Structure 1
Amino acid sequence: MGSAGVPVVVGLDNGGTSNNATVLTVDGRFLVDGLVETPSEVQAGPEAAIEALARALDGVLALTGVPRELVRAVGLDTPGPASATGVISSRGSTNFSQPAWRGYDVRGALERRLGLPVIYHNDGNAAALYAHHVHFGTDAMNRSSVAAIVGTGLGGGVVEGGRVVTGAAGMAGEFGHVHIPLDGLLAPGQPVPICACGFSGDAESVASLTAIERNLLPYWLGRYPGHPLAAEEPRRAAKLVRGYGERGDPLARQVFTQQAMALGRLFTIAANFTDPDAYFVGGGVVEAAPEFRDWFLATVREHTVLRAEQAAVATFALVPDRDMAGARGVAIAALEALRATPEPSPLVAG
Structure 2
Amino acid sequence: MLMEGLAKFPPRPTGAGDMFQLFRDGAPRTRASLVSETGQSRSTVAARIDALRSVGLLVPAGEASSTGGRPPSTFAFDPRSRIVLGVDLGATHARIAVTDLAGEPLTHLDEPLAIADGPEHVLSWVAEAGDKLVAQAGRHRDELAGIGIGLPGPVDHTTGRPVNPPIMPGWDGTDVPAELHRRLGAPVMVDNDVNIMALGEHRTIAPDVDDLLFVKVATGIGAGVIMDGHLRRGAQGAAGDLGHVTVPGAGDIPCRCGNTGCLEAVAGGAALVEQLRRAGATVATTADIVALVRSGDVAAGQAVRQAGRDVGTVLAASVSLLNPSRIVIGGILAGAGEHLMAGIREVVYQRSLPLATQHLRITPSGAGAQAGVVGAAVLVIEQYLAPASVESLINAKEDS
Structure 1 match to 2:217: 150
1:99-110 correspondence to structure 2 within 5 Å? 101-110=171-180
Q: 1:86 aligns with which of 146, 160, 164?
A: 160
Structure 2 match to 1:275: 323
1:224-263 correspondence to structure 2 within 5 Å? 228-229=280-281, 232=282, 236=284, 240-263=288-311
1:4-23 correspondence to structure 2 within 5 Å? 6-15=81-90, 19-23=94-98
| Contact persistence 1:267–1:279 (CA under 8 A) | no
1:60-209 correspondence to structure 2 within 5 Å? 60-84=133-157, 85-89=159-163, 91=164, 93-94=166-167, 96-98=168-170, 101-137=171-207, 139=208, 143-182=210-249, 193-209=253-269
After superposition, the C-alpha distances for 1:68-114 in whole angstroms (9 at most, x for unaligned) are 3332121111221332232123x4543x434xx33211123223443
Question: Which whole-Å CA distance do the structure 1 matches of 2:91 and 2:289 have between them?
Answer: 23
TM superposition score normalised by structure 1? 0.76
| Contact persistence 2:320–2:353 (CA under 8 A) | no
Cα distance, 1:27 vs structure 2: 3.4
Cα distance, 1:37 vs structure 2: 4.0
| Contact persistence 1:20–1:56 (CA under 8 A) | no
Structure 2 match to 1:31: 106
Structure 1 stretch displaced more, 43-52 or 167-176: 43-52
Q: Percent identity?
A: 28
Q: 1:319 aligns with which of 347, 358, 365?
A: 365
Cα distance, 1:268 vs structure 2: 0.7
Structure 2 match to 1:345: none
Change (3 A) 1:242 1:43: closer
Cα distance, 1:180 vs structure 2: 3.0
Change (3 A) 1:239 1:28: closer
1:276-315 correspondence to structure 2 within 5 Å? 276-288=324-336, 293-304=337-348, 305-315=351-361
Structure 2 match to 1:347: none
RMSD over aligned Cα atoms: 3.0
Cα distance, 1:155 vs structure 2: 2.5
Structure 2 match to 1:53: 126
Amino acid at match of 1:51: S
Larger CA Rg, structure 1 vs 2: 2
Q: Aligned pair count?
A: 308
Question: Which whole-Å CA distance do the structure 2 matches of 1:267 and 1:38 have between them?
Answer: 31
Change (3 A) 1:172 1:273: same
Q: Report SS of the residue matched to 2:191.
A: strand
Cα distance, 1:46 vs structure 2: 3.6
Cα distance, 1:177 vs structure 2: 0.5
Question: Which whole-Å CA distance do the structure 2 matches of 1:217 and 1:297 have between them?
Answer: 19
Amino acid at match of 1:80: G
Question: Which whole-Å CA distance do the structure 1 matches of 2:176 and 2:347 have between them?
Answer: 39
Q: Report SS of the residue matched to 1:65.
A: coil
| Contact persistence 1:286–1:320 (CA under 8 A) | no
Cα distance, 1:38 vs structure 2: 6.3
| Contact persistence 1:129–1:162 (CA under 8 A) | no
| Contact persistence 2:87–2:97 (CA under 8 A) | yes
Structure 1 stretch displaced more, 5-14 or 240-249: 240-249
Cα distance, 1:327 vs structure 2: 1.5
Q: Report SS of the residue matched to 1:31.
A: strand
Change (3 A) 1:104 1:303: same
Q: Gaps spanning 5+ residues in structure 1: where?
A: 222-227, 343-350
| Contact persistence 1:150–1:284 (CA under 8 A) | yes
Cα distance, 1:261 vs structure 2: 0.6
| Contact persistence 1:23–1:30 (CA under 8 A) | yes
Question: Which whole-Å CA distance do the structure 2 matches of 1:71 and 1:133 have between them?
Answer: 21
| Contact persistence 2:88–2:150 (CA under 8 A) | yes
Amino acid at match of 1:298: A
Question: Which whole-Å CA distance do the structure 2 matches of 1:302 and 1:80 have between them?
Answer: 28
Q: Report SS of the residue matched to 1:36.
A: strand
Change (3 A) 1:160 1:337: farther
After superposition, the C-alpha distances for 1:306-346 in whole angstroms (9 at most, x for unaligned) are 3323323212111245433221211111112223357xxxx
Q: Report SS of the residue matched to 2:162.
A: coil
Question: Which whole-Å CA distance do the structure 1 matches of 2:172 and 2:355 have between them?
Answer: 46
